[in-house]
Amino acid sequence: MTARIYISNICPAWPIERQQAAIAAELPDWSGARVFRDDLDPKQRQAHRDTSLVERGNMLRRAGRPRGGEAIYAVAACLAWTEAGLLDALAQAAQRGATVHLVDAGVTLAPSENGASLRKALAAFAASRRRQAEEQHGRRGGTASGQRRWDAAEAKAQIIKARWGDPTWRTDDLCREAGLTYLTAKRHLGSRPIALAATAAAQKRAAKRQAKAVAA
């Protein structure tokens, strides 16, 4: 089955690195997948026009359906601006005969998916967008004291950032060292399981590259 990856910067709650880690957790080896990426400027993001998502359009175009099936991996909130846009993107994927994996919610939608799975997809989209609003409020829209608390926690999180994906370090020990609860550390560094999975995937790809180099 052919894999396609979609990444965009339309949802601040899901920076590029976090999307890549979430995708790697579900698809550890996506070195052979085709990646479609929309990097929009601030004006384009503010306008919320689907026409700005050029690479998404290229990915979902009906022409060239591969034999053996196709799988698309993406974060729900990074696939569309609105719920209606998400449903439209899923409908286009279904027309291609593609199965869509929404990696932030563990939701998989086959081309002929039922209503229950679509509701799960919409719930995942709403949750991601809600997280975005909460984080923006915490960083910019809160009181000055709230901003100071965010900045202080961010500084603490930086102490353990380089080891967040290192399996030799226990989560409790890292959080204790930084003086953070796990939920606060997760808010600043992302999910630890996802970070660990991303590290494992990177190590696996590196090992494969090394094995190919030795064989050559």
pLDDT tens digits along 6-28: 999 999 888 899 899 999 999 98
Tokens representing 58 are 């290229």
pLDDT for 116 equals 63
57: enclosing H helix or E strand = helix 54-60
Instruction: Find out whether 5 and 73 touch, Cβ atoms under 8 Å.
Output: yes
Residue type, 118: L
Q: pLDDT confidence of 5, banded at 50, 70, 90? A: very high
pLDDT digits (tens, 9 = 90+) for 70-84: 999 999 889 998 888
The mean pLDDT of 91-116, rounded to a whole number, is: 83
Give the three-state DSSP class for 63.
coil
Sheet of strand 107-109, all strands in order from the earlier edge strand to the far edge: 34-38, 2-8, 70-74, 98-102, 107-109
Domain ranges of the chain: 1-141, 143-216
| Residue-averaged pLDDT of the chain | 84
What number of residues does the chain have?
216
Task: State the DSSP code for 177.
Answer: H
pLDDT at 197: 86
The whole-angstrom separation of Cα 191 and Cα 182 is 9
Q: Is the pLDDT of residue 48 over 60?
A: yes
pTM assigned to the model? 0.60
- Window from 29-38, 111-120, 146-155, 182-191 with minimum mean pLDDT: 111-120
Question: CATH fold of 1-141, please?
Answer: Rossmann fold (3.40.50)
Higher pLDDT, 52 or 123: 52
- Residue 71 confidence (pLDDT): 94
pLDDT, position 38: 97
pLDDT reported for residue 159: 92
pLDDT tens digits, 163-215: 999 999 999 999 999 999 998 998 888 889 888 888 888 888 888 888 887 77
CA atoms of 45 and 60, how far apart (whole Å): 20
User: Quick check: 108 pLDDT over 80?
Assistant: yes
